[in-house]
Structure 1
Amino acid sequence: MNTFPDRTPTRRRVLPAGENGSLWEARPSCGIVEFRGTRLRLMVENPSEVLFPTDCGLSLLSALDGDGTPVLEGVNALDIGAGSGLYSAALLAAGADRVTALDINPASAAQTSANVTANGLDASRLTCVTSPLEEYRPRERFDLVITNPPHLPYDPSYARTDGLETALVARRGGRAVYDAVVDRVDELLAPGGSLLMAHSSLADVPRTVAELTGRGYEAETLEVFEMDIPLLAYAEHRETLQLRLKELRAQGRAEFDGSRFTVHALLFRRPGAQRA
């Protein structure tokens, strides 16, 4: 099956500052989004434990919702960093055969299951796993891996131990989960399978692309979104966070302009036989 049709040049979508123009119809704890003809209602019961999906994460679904996008029907998919279950629910609604929702945060499993069930989707096709990606050992490889990794640089001044930090902040200059995905993707993705990634410009997009294409993966940018850096959750430590980001930019590891950055909806295909 050819999941890489010919495409027009990469589109760039500029999202207005603030809530006006958000990809969600409502927020911050409940939102409605339409994906491939199905309206999905996502909620988070405790926003201090599980992050309500942001425009950063939603941008990948937006890029996948249209003509000439990858086939999702019948795939066996892995959702890395499942959070509230946005991608898991969307994939099941789009016809995925099975979805494994992986997250280090124990609260993610219950919230993902609740959102899948609340949208009338078949929960028997969903498996939730609580584990760090580095320790996860699947029994099989997947047709599709999808992820929106945390992308803000770590600093001890705003370090937290709840689900909010694991969803937004990562060590190694915000690249810890990106690096783990790149390191593990050959073990997780079947030959001919696809990796879909919402990649923040704050975490060195060129590095990820170079590392995967250097290993033979075909890379494609589906769409680029410009939006606000999510500073609201770190208002008390805004200056520290901005300092960390400026340091990364000086090292050539982050791209942003003022409080605006971009999210790249990336598609990588592993070489090998196509899924039947």
Structure 2
Amino acid sequence: MLRLPGTYRAQGDTFLLIRALRRSGGAQGCRVLDVGTGGGALALSAVRAGARSVTAVDLSRLSLITTRLNSLLHRARVELRHGDLFDPVRGRRFDLVLANPPYVPSRSDVLPRRGPGRAWDAGRDGRAVIERICDDVAAVLVDGGRLLMVHSALADEDRTVQRLRDRGFRAAVVDRAPEPFGPVMRRRAALLRSRGLLRPDQDHEELVVVEARR
């Protein structure tokens, strides 16, 4: 996979979500939306899994350029849309939505407007974007459609599952895996320990995949 400077590098969370996609029956014949596509790793995985169509959305034009280059390199047909979460596809319906949103707790609830921090900063509780997805995803899913979303357990998977259930979904955690701290988490570890989110000796987080069916 190509990665232009300043774009999100596919790592453990991306690979965990790809694993969950395969375990859940894949994307064969599905109209797939990859929201917050980054470099396009999830979108390309959906194409390889036999999706009928794949649409990738991102707020970063640089990320969309990266996804375009990767789709050309791998000869994968991916439709690109620029904008914020579901806004670019309002009025359309999908069978499957894939999401790897920002989820790292940050110093402030004010989210960055530009720069690489947009890919991980998610407010003081790490849920600023997760909750928007929970609240709005029903509008782009067909009846019986699915959401697969990955985030850190630090952002409280129980709240994610309950929020989706409150909105009429059948939701559960379907996969999880430990992940060693990367550069962002190492820089932020002292802050998270001061909030009681990390143990003093903790050097990894747990990633979870939540599946929700409409």
Same fold (TM over 0.5): yes
Aligned partner of 2:140 in structure 1 is 188
TM-score normalised to structure 1 length: 0.69
Query: Is the 1:141–1:188 contact (alpha carbons within 8 Å) kept by the matching residues of 2?
Result: yes
Query: Is the 2:91–2:140 contact (alpha carbons within 8 Å) kept by the matching residues of 1?
Result: no
Equivalent residue in structure 2 for 1:263, among 198, 203, 207:
207
Provide the C-alpha distance between the structure 1 equivalents of 2:207 and 2:28, rounded to a whole number of angstroms. 25
Query: Is the 1:204–1:255 contact (alpha carbons within 8 Å) kept by the matching residues of 2?
Result: no
CA RMSD across the alignment: 2.3
Provide the C-alpha distance between the structure 1 equivalents of 2:119 and 2:129, rounded to a whole number of angstroms. 10
Runs of 4+ in structure 1 over 6 Å off: none
Q: CA deviation at 1:136?
A: 3.7
Query: Is the 2:161–2:173 contact (alpha carbons within 8 Å) kept by the matching residues of 1?
Result: no
Residue 139 of structure 2 aligns to which amino acid in structure 1?
E
Provide the C-alpha distance between the structure 2 equivalents of 1:234 and 1:263, rounded to a whole number of angstroms. 13
Bigger radius of gyration among the two: 1
Query: Is the 1:201–1:255 contact (alpha carbons within 8 Å) kept by the matching residues of 2?
Result: no
Query: Is the 2:157–2:173 contact (alpha carbons within 8 Å) kept by the matching residues of 1?
Result: no
Equivalent positions of 1:35-114 (< 5 A) are 42-46=1-5, 49-66=6-23, 69-114=24-69
TM-score normalised to structure 2 length: 0.88
For residues 189 and 163 of structure 1, do their structure 2 counterparts lie closer, same or farther at Cα, with a shift above 3 Å needed?
A: farther
Aligned residues: 211
Q: CA deviation at 1:242?
A: 2.3
Equivalent positions of 1:1-276 (< 5 A) are 42-46=1-5, 49-66=6-23, 69-121=24-76, 123=77, 126-133=78-85, 135-155=87-107, 162-230=114-182, 232-233=183-184, 238=187, 241-246=188-193, 248=195, 250=196, 258-270=202-214
For residues 89 and 214 of structure 1, do their structure 2 counterparts lie closer, same or farther at Cα, with a shift above 3 Å needed?
A: same
For residues 246 and 135 of structure 1, do their structure 2 counterparts lie closer, same or farther at Cα, with a shift above 3 Å needed?
A: farther
- Deviation digits for residues 204-236 of structure 1, max 9, x if unmatched? 111010111223311233221001132x2476x
Provide the C-alpha distance between the structure 2 equivalents of 1:255 and 1:143, rounded to a whole number of angstroms. 37
For residues 246 and 189 of structure 1, do their structure 2 counterparts lie closer, same or farther at Cα, with a shift above 3 Å needed?
A: farther
